[in-house]
Each structure stands twice: as structure tokens, then as C-alpha cells.
Amino acid sequence: MVDIEAKNLSRTFEYYRKQRGLSGWLKFLFYREKLHAEAVKDISFSIDSGELVGFLGPNGAGKTTTLKMLSGILHPTSGQVKVLGHIPAQREKEYQKKFALIMGQKNQLVQDLPAMETFIVNKEIYEIPDQEFEENLDELANIFDIHNILDIQVRKLSLGQRMRCELVAALLHKPKILFLDEPTIGLDVVAQKNIRDFIKKYNQEKKTTIILTSHYMEDIRELCQRVIIINLGKIIYDGKLDDLIRKYAPYKLLKVIFNGNGVKLEEVEKFGEIDEFHPYACTIKTKRNEAKDTAIALLSSDLPVDDIIIDEVDVNDVIRQVFNS
């Protein structure tokens, strides 16, 4: 079942250009040159029920604009989009109860009030029955371990605590669609992992359809099997993350640790292309289907090998290659 379907979706913003200096200001009072910026250009994609899709691209690529059109905040300039059978731009009350949009750089919690006050407001907005609200809140508070901070002013919470409360506020009405725009931005490594673990668990247990944008490639690698890459408003890749890596990174990395007196560069060059070298550690690029054989050859050699790790190329590097291709 398809939950999200976009066809030839575009969004253009109007803006005005002013010349510099006083003369520019005077001219601007009587004549304004209207310009147009295409944030999203004729994109099409569909997402099935329960999918968790990574939406990737550099700053200004059109990711957030697309999410805002899917949630109904922005109207498309042209094209069609349907989410759960609804047209988001119509902002139907029934549709607004079925999705949640979480933006890591935007707050829905009121800074001077405890998070609990926002939860109660959301209960009324989404018309959640009392018993259902109590059950949902208790479940989410246990998952995120926020029982002891519900009555503390939001401004006094750490960034990780605030983000957990933001997620709880967005999930109280059990949305069928979840739009996550940089949900782990600014969080420390532990907090990022906790958020990732929850998103994965929530997607698996609730079968919620999720679109995730993130600049942290660890988020994408841990959570998403499918990725959509957008650049300059256009989709340049839509498919499995594993296929993307195989296509644009046809090699693996062997990270080799040496003991004893270490090794010389010429002793390891014969095993493959050297990506990084140190007498006690080096990284060797090798073809994907030859990685295990190369590792065995290293272990069988006279080199003082202490450990070998076969690793994938960083997804950041893969995406950079996509942009440059």
C-alpha cells in the first residue's frame, strides 16, 4: 500500500532584487525586479506503508521544502502530492491528525513551561481521549525515560532531554506518517544513538511510515534501507542504500593493525591501493569480491598483522561521488 505519492512536484519562491547604495533604495521604492528561485523541480516518488526512507542532500537542495509540502505547510507551485489519500495543501483536520513533523532546529515546546503543559495542549488539539492520552504518555515516557523531567521548565533541560520531549509531543496522537527533519542535530553521540534506536524500534513496532533527513550519515546507515538523494531541487538517486554503495564504491576498506616493529610501505603496497599508511596501521582499498581473499593473504604473510577489519566506504564519500558524477 502506497502512503505517499508525489508526481511532478515543484515549488518556486518569488523574491526581489535591490541594487546597492542609496540610488538602489530609491529605485527599489518605485520599481522592484521580481526573480524566481526553484527550490524543488518536478520531482516524483512514492513511499509504501511502513517504509523508513532517508532523504539526503546538501543545504539548499530542497529537502525541507519537500517535507513542508508533504505536511501541508507549503503549497506546491505545480504537480500533485497525496499522503494517506489526502491532499496536504487542503489541510484537512482528519489528515493533520495522521502525521507529525519534527524539525531538529524548531521548537514546539514552550521554553518557559514544563513539557507536560505542551503535552496537555496537544491532547486537546488532537482530541485524544483521556485514557488513551494517559496510556500513550506513560508508554512514551517510559521509552524515553522522561518521567522525572515532565514538570521541569523546558529551558532548564539539556538538548538531549528537550529532543526526547519533542518526540514525545509529536507522537502522543500515534501518527501514521512521521516526517523527521534533522532530529539528531546538535545532540551528543549517546543521545544520537538513543534517538536512532527509538526511531528504528518505533518504525518496526508501529509500522509507521517515516521520512528522515539528516546530515549525520550514521543516522542513515543505521536506519534506512532506501535513500532518495536530492540536489538543486532534483532527485538524482532513488533506491537501496546498499546498491548505492556498490555502484559508487566498488571497493571495501581493509584496516590493518601491525605489532612488533611495524611495516614499510613497500611491504603492503602489493596487497592493494593504499588509502592511508602508518608503520603500525594502514588502510587498503580492495575490490569488494576480493576483500576476504586479501585479508587471508595478509594474515598468511610474514607481516606482523595484529588485527584486520573489513569495512565499508563512508556513506558521505559515496554521496559526494554521486553529486560529482
How far apart CA 141 and CA 135 sit, in angstroms, is 10
What is the structure's pLDDT at 258?
93
**Which three cell numbers mark 164?**
526526547
User: Between 103 and 113, whose confidence is greater?
Assistant: 113
Query: At 224, which amino acid appears?
Result: C
**Which three cell numbers mark 251?**
571497493
Helix (H, G, I), strand (E, B) or coil at 306: strand
Helix (H, G, I), strand (E, B) or coil at 107: coil
Res. 293 pLDDT band, cuts 50 70 90: very high
**Residue 105: is its pLDDT beyond 70?**
no
* Mean pLDDT over the full length of the chain: 88
How far apart CA 291 and CA 272 sit, in angstroms, is 10
Q: Classify burial at 56, counting beta carbons within 10 Å of its beta carbon; exposed 0-12, middle 13-18, buried 19 or more.
A: buried
| 48 DSSP β-pair partners | 2
How far apart CA 190 and CA 212 sit, in angstroms, is 19
Q: What contacts 24+ positions apart, CB below 8 Å, involve 258-265?
A: 258/282, 258/303, 258/304, 258/305, 258/306, 259/304, 259/306, 260/304, 261/304, 262/304, 263/303, 263/304
Question: Cell 556513506 sits at which residue?
Answer: 315
Query: At 130, which amino acid appears?
Result: D
- Our CA angle for 125, 126, 132, nearest 5°, is 125
How far apart CA 325 and CA 319 sit, in angstroms, is 10
Res. 82 pLDDT band, cuts 50 70 90: very high
| 227 DSSP β-pair partners | 54, 239
The predicted model gives 273-283 an average pLDDT of 92
Domains of the chain plus CATH, in order, are 2-6+47-245 (3.40.50.300), 251-324 (3.30.70)
- Nearest CA among 84, 164, 168 for reference residue 122: 168
Q: Say how many C-beta atoms besides its own lie within 10 A of residue 194's C-beta.
A: 19
How far apart CA 264 and CA 242 sit, in angstroms, is 34
Pairing, β 251-258 against β 281-287: antiparallel
For every residue of 233-268, DSSP letters joined together read: TEEEEEEEHHHHHHHH--EEEEEEEE-TT---HHHH
Q: What is the largest CA-CA distance in the chain?
A: 81
What is the structure's pLDDT at 152?
93
124-183 per-position pLDDT tens digit: 999 999 999 999 999 889 888 889 999 999 999 888 888 889 889 999 999 999 999 888
Q: Say how many C-beta atoms besides its own lie within 10 A of residue 227's C-beta.
A: 23
27-70 per-position pLDDT tens digit: 766 677 777 788 899 999 999 999 999 998 888 888 989 999 99
* Mean pLDDT lowest among 95-99, 101-105, 180-184, 247-251: 101-105
Q: Cite the beta strand spans of 259-304 per DSSP E.
A: 273-278, 281-287
Res. 300 pLDDT band, cuts 50 70 90: very high
pTM above 0.85, yes or no: no
What is the structure's pLDDT at 58?
82
Cβ atoms of residues 161 and 181 within 8 Å? no
Res. 86 pLDDT band, cuts 50 70 90: very high
Res. 108 pLDDT band, cuts 50 70 90: confident
What is the structure's pLDDT at 88?
94
Eight-state DSSP code of residue 304: -
CA dihedral 294, 297, 302, 308 (to 10 degrees): 50
What is the structure's pLDDT at 24?
65
The predicted model gives 237-252 an average pLDDT of 88
Res. 98 pLDDT band, cuts 50 70 90: very high
Cβ atoms of residues 255 and 268 within 8 Å? no
